[in-house]
Structure formats: C-alpha cells, structure tokens
Structure 1
C-alpha cells in the first residue's frame, strides 16, 4: 500500500516541474514536422510527449520501487497495460502493494503541436485499484494542483473548495466537450446550454478544464471520451475539493471503466442541473 506522504507528494510535483522545464517547454513552438506524428487518425503524438513520459515514468519508478507505470504513450504500444488499473493488476498480483501510476506527459497534445496553449502534465496514483493521489501542472499558466485522498486539494499550495461559491441556477458557467459527442447528444447539449448560463466550447485540454473548475472559472464540465490518464487526476482533484465526478447514469467515475460519458461538477446541485439541461431528453 502506498504511503502517500508529504515528501512523496512533493517529489512527484517536483518531477513534473522538471519534465516541464527540461523537456516540454524547450520544445514548445520549436517542433519540426518530423517531431509530430499520428498514433491514429487525428490522434497526435510529439517528441515532447515521448520524452516527457520517459522522464516521468523513470522518476516515478525510482520514487516507488516495484510500482507500475501506465503512460499514455506506452499504452499506445501495449494496450494490455490498462489491465493494471483493475484491483490485482493485469495478471493478478502487482508488486509494490498494487501501486499504479497513470501518466499523461502532455495533455492537450494538439494544442502543443500547434504551438498554442493550454497544455498540462498529469499524474495519478492508484493503490489496490483506488485513486489516492493526483497532480496536474499547467507550466505556462503557473498552476499546480495536488490532491491526496482524504486530505483535500491544493492549488499552488493553498487549499481549495469548489462548491463554496456557486452561482444561482441559470447563471452557471461550464464546458461541454461536444466534439466527440454522438450527434443526438451533441444537439441536446448545445440546446440545453441556454438553460443554465454560459456553455463554453472547451480548450482541448482536460487538465486545464479541471484546473479552471478548481479556481472558480467554471462550475461543470462534460466529457464524452474518458481515457484514464485524461480524467483520473482531475476527478480526484475535484472530489477532494468537494465536487463530484460521475458517469451520466449517476455512478461514480473510476479510471478502470471503459465507458464514455463523464459529468464533473462543483457540487450535487450543479451536477443535477447540468445533467437535466444537457443530457436528459
């Protein structure tokens, strides 16, 4: 069982800062055509993603010997790694007490490849299949959010609560990532947005969407694609700050579940209002 101490928490944060400083930022707006490829049609990967994942993965293994790292780029080469997200791991037993790291080395790769912001570096720690730690760093925005299960969420070292100052119904502000929604649900979400206030188009960076919830820029965000490295860190950050992260049917989000649809909100009331307006027929 991972003992997520203050020291380990700080060490992971420092590792993300180092990956950003040494690998990611020096390549921002400096990529050549050969530095950007497609893993699948429309799914980009850059040398920054690859090099940052190598640095972060090696560092996490040093911090927690015997742990398993499930990185976005590694999974592209070996999808069976996703089996480690389930209790007991891909083949049953995991060394290190079942400690599994999820790594998104550059979240918002399309933005990064185009030379625009935002993008983020993200890590989550699961022990025995349960989320126990999360880190999201926006290096250009200068924002680092950290969560420990049962200990709350901090942004740049200061504790945050997302549901303490929420606008009244009709004045909510949130994001619906409509790009990947099925056509019927996309039309429903776009039409329903007028009922709850400002409906934003999204920034193509899940990490920044979660950070914007934590700093009060928005009160909800709706996703269709729920790749674990995109959402395990942010879901824990929001939960530990007092919010909710649930599937459209109301079940709690878990990164091992391969199912579309996720609605994250500042509190129970906002989740219910956003679901009624954007999802329900």
Structure 2
C-alpha cells in the first residue's frame, strides 16, 4: 500500500487500525468457536473479535488525541448513555468490526471504521478492509484517498444505474414502496451488509446509489465524509447534511450529485 504522506494523524490512525486487525480480527477469521459469537438482537451478532478490536482501537486512539471522547459500537450497546458524547467538541467514533455477520459466518466483506467528529460534524474518516488491506481515508476539505492516492468518485456508466438498497430496517409499508417506486428504475444488486465495503463501492464505479434506513454513527460517519470528499454525494433524504449526533433515519449515497438528486426526487414521492 502507498502510505499516506504529510498527514501524521492518518498515519497514526492507520497504525492503530492495522494493529487491531493483526491482533484481534485476522487471527480469528474462520476460526471462531460457537461460544465466541453472541446474538445481541435478532440477526445482529457480536464476536470476541469485535470486543477485543474495540479495546485496542480505544486505547490507541486515546493516545493520539487524549482530549477526544470515544464512542465505540460495543461500549454504546452496553451503555447507551455514551451516545451523548457524539456531540462533544472532539469525538472518536469506532466500529471495531463492521460486517460482523459476514465475519462470524467466515466470509467477506468486513472491515474497521473510524471517524473523528467535531461538534457533531465528521472531520476525518478512515476505512480499512482487513483482508485486502485497502485503506480509504478523508479529511474535511482535503479530499478522499485510496491507499494514499487521491480519489475521484466515478459512476458505473451503466443504464439503468446500479443500486444497492437496504431494506433490512424498513417497515413493511416502506419496503413495499421502495420496491414498487424505486427498484424498477435501477439495476438492483445485493447489499454487502458492510458499510466499510458499501461506501468504497459508491466511489469506485461498482455501485451508483444506495439507500440506507438506519444511519448509526459508527456505520456511516466515515463513509459519508469519504464519499462527499471524493466528489460523490451522501446526505439525508431532504438534502440536509449527515450529523453524527442526530438520531434520524434515512440516508442516500451516490457516486455523483446528479445521481443523488435523481434518486432523492423519487424517494420524496413515496
């Protein structure tokens, strides 16, 4: 990988993510015991690798910016009061193993997501694919990068556009409306159940658009910034920016602003 240059913060974050991958995640891939997989809720798993990765990441990030609060997915699950820290002046947001269901079943994709927010706005995002080593990052106002090289988002160029639409967290009426009014205008592909994969797909010419119903900060903060800095567009259904400290549903990601506008107009009609 071409390492990021002239960005000490990204260098430091990358080192912490690589450490968590090496020590907690990669050694357990396809080697989990049944007792090391727990169902937090229906179809929502956590593994020993998630917990150990979060501990390593939390410790490492605290050394980089001791003044920043830390909100990790598993810590917030254990104590929802931690979510109040998302709006603090500086806050690390950690998804220690994004795509846990895939990982627990011994298949890709899965990765690590880290974001840094300031007053509820994401100012840094880092996405690490544990198996391939692909490293995506963005800093607010500084562009998006893939393995250290500047990246510009590109559509697939196919017609109709390629859409990955998550229906998992939509109610039955919403699901039916999406299938009836949105799906016919796109070539539908399966969602990867991994934001660390979905956002890069939108920037790399694999998918054109995505609809997300649930928009938890650890799943989306890094990817939204990355896609926007790459020249695509990710925003709420009404066009308002994504903020990590808002408990709202609904988000559209697209490889270009034009594709975003087209899908948003259709969503507004249902």
Normalised by the shorter chain, which TM-score bucket?
over 0.9
Deviates more, 1:77-86 or 1:53-62: 77-86
Q: Is the 8 A contact 1:136 1:234 kept in 2?
A: yes
**1:215-265 alpha-carbon deviations (Å, 9 max, x no partner):** 111121111111110000100001111122111222211111111111111
Q: Name which of 184, 188, 193 aligns with 1:194.
A: 184
What residue in structure 1 maps to residue 251 of structure 2? 262
Are 1:220 and 2:199 an aligned pair? Answer: no
Moved over 6 A (4+): none
Cα RMSD after superposing both structures:
1.6
Q: Specify whether residues 185 and 279 from structure 1 end up closer, same or farther in structure 2 by C-alpha distance, changes over 3 A only.
A: farther
What is the alpha-carbon distance in structure 1 between the residues aligned to residue 250 and residue 100 of structure 2? 21
What is the alpha-carbon distance in structure 1 between the residues aligned to residue 119 and residue 91 of structure 2? 8
What residue in structure 1 maps to residue 3 of structure 2? none
Are 1:253 and 2:242 an aligned pair? Answer: yes
Stretches of structure 2 that go unaligned for 5 or more consecutive residues are 1-5
**1:47-68 alpha-carbon deviations (Å, 9 max, x no partner):** 0000000000000001111221
Are 1:112 and 2:113 an aligned pair? Answer: no
Quote how far apart the aligned CAs of 1:185 are: 2.2
What residue in structure 2 maps to residue 94 of structure 1? none
3-state SS of 1:204 partner? coil
What is the alpha-carbon distance in structure 2 between the residues aligned to residue 177 and residue 138 of structure 1? 21
Q: Name which of 139, 142, 146 aligns with 1:151.
A: 142
3-state SS of 2:55 partner? helix
Q: Is the 8 A contact 1:246 1:253 kept in 2?
A: yes
Q: Is the 8 A contact 1:111 1:117 kept in 2?
A: yes
> How many residue pairs align between the two structures?
264
What residue in structure 2 maps to residue 235 of structure 1? 224
* TM-score of the superposed pair, with normalisation by structure 1: 0.89
* TM-score of the superposed pair, with normalisation by structure 2: 0.93
